[in-house]
Amino acid sequence: MSTSSIRQLQTTVTYIILIAAALILLFPLLFALSIALQGETITPQILPNLRNLDWGVFANVLQQQPDLVRWIINSFVVSSLVTIGVMITSSLAAYAFAYLEFWGKQILFVLVLGTLMIPFETTLIPNYLFVSQLGWHDSYQGLVVPFLASGFGIFLLRQYFLTIPRELHEAAKMDGCGHTRYLWRFMLPLSRPALATLGLYTFLATWNQFYWPLLVTDSTQWRTTQIGIAIFHTSEVQVLNIQMAATLIILIPTLIPLIFGQRQLVRGLTAGILKD
């Protein structure tokens, strides 16, 4: 065999393995799609009847389950508010740690990093009691406010701010630019990659939250998508196609940012373990 045909064989084998791996990984999603397209049945098949696919199920589910739309709106509102809030509070705090000199800086920074060591589950019970006391069940503030500060966000942005040359600040100061304006006009635009990473990461994490919204939402209309879909699963055991269609619909808002923002996301995930 010639070298070129050996190479061709190698490429073919590589493709076969890649496609096999992709199919195995995609199996749950394909399975969900297959169930969704089969129409209402109590004995679903692994593969649907290709001549009789029920694509209307996606429109039907939105019509039949008005709650689903409300859940998606809830998740969007909560995730957006948390994302914007975290970006604002983290930028301000990160700027203070990166550029200002003040008493207690070290201690406060340790306190901020310390929050990363306190697991969500340990503060869960007191937080639940506190939020109940405030009467924040079934409200946006109950879902948003506890997550508005992020130790990870502050750390990430501080590290990024430190890479921006100090001379820029000196120059801006010469021109009479104060700290607040400098942060707003120079630092934030220059830190767009880091902010995008933080924003994407926060949005996905909030969108996917399960435990906390499960505790602080009681009525159907205040559920977020994740809780809604899980409760939908236990309450509508029979209509598998509707269940899977609803599940696939709520995946779209996170799959799209992943496909377009993969680089930012990867940068966020590898922050701190790899140098750029």
Interface segment toward other proteins; rule CB under 8 A; list 48-56, 61-69, 121-129, 156-164: 121-129
154 binds other proteins (CB under 8 A): yes
Sole binder of other proteins in the list 70, 138, 179, 239 (CB under 8 A): 179
Answer yes or no: are the C-beta atoms of 249 and 68 closer than 8 Å: yes
Answer yes or no: are the C-beta atoms of 150 and 90 closer than 8 Å: yes
Question: What is the three-state SS of 233-248?
Answer: HHHCCCCHHHHHHHHH
User: For residues 76-95, which are near other proteins according to CB under 8 A?
Assistant: 88-90, 92-93, 95
CA distances from residue 35 to 30, 43, 246, 247 in whole angstroms, order as listed: 9, 10, 12, 11
137 binds other proteins (CB under 8 A): no
Cβ 134 to other proteins, closest distance in Å? 10
124 binds other proteins (CB under 8 A): yes
User: For residues 7-36, which are near other proteins according to CB under 8 A?
Assistant: 11, 14-15, 17-18, 21-22, 25-26, 28-29, 31-32, 35
Residue 252's closest CA among 85, 76, 34, 78?
A: 76
Please, which residue, 51 or 212, has the CB nearer to other proteins? 212
43 binds other proteins (CB under 8 A): yes
176 binds other proteins (CB under 8 A): no
The b/e string for 196-215 (b: 16+ C-beta within 10 A; e otherwise) is: bbbbbbbbbbbbebeebbeb
User: For residues 193-232, which are near other proteins according to CB under 8 A?
Assistant: 204, 207-208, 210-211, 214-215, 225-227, 229-230, 232
The footprint of other proteins on this chain (CB under 8 A) covers a number of residues equal to 95
